[in-house]
Amino acid sequence: MKTAIITGIGRGIGKALAEKFLAEGFTVIGTVFTSGQAAAHDRLAIHALDLSSPESIRKCAAAIASSGAKADILINNAGILIDGDETCLAPDKLRATLEVNVVGTAAFTELIVPLMSRDGHIVNISSQAGSIAEADILEDTHEPYHYPAYKISKAALNMYARTLAVRMAHEKTGIIVSSVHPGWVKTDMGGDEAPVTPEEAAADIYALAVSRPETGQFWFKGKKYPW
Q: pLDDT tens digits, the chain, 227 residues: what are they? A: 899 999 999 999 999 999 999 999 999 999 999 755 666 789 999 999 999 999 999 999 999 999 999 999 999 999 999 998 888 999 999 999 999 999 999 999 999 999 999 999 999 999 999 999 988 775 555 556 689 999 999 999 999 999 999 999 999 999 999 999 998 786 776 666 766 899 999 999 999 999 999 999 999 999 999 99
Class of residue 40 by CB neighbours under 10 A (exposed 0-12, middle 13-18, buried 19+):
exposed
pLDDT value, residue 36: 52
Q: Which domains does the chain have, with CATH numbers?
A: 3-224 (3.40.50.720)
pLDDT value, residue 224: 97
CA distance 99 to 165: 21
Residue 159, C-beta contacts closer than 8 angstroms, at least 6 positions apart: none
13 C-beta neighbours (distance < 10 Å), count: 30
Please say whether the dihedral angle defined by the alpha carbons of residues 213, 219, 225 and 227, taken in this order, is positive or negative. negative
pLDDT value, residue 136: 78
CA distance 4 to 210: 10
76 C-beta neighbours (distance < 10 Å), count: 26
pLDDT value, residue 140: 52
CA distance 147 to 128: 12
Query: Among 25, 28, 71, which residue's Cα sits nearest to residue 174?
Result: 71
pLDDT value, residue 185: 80
111 neighbors 136 (Cβ within 8 angstroms): no
pLDDT value, residue 35: 55
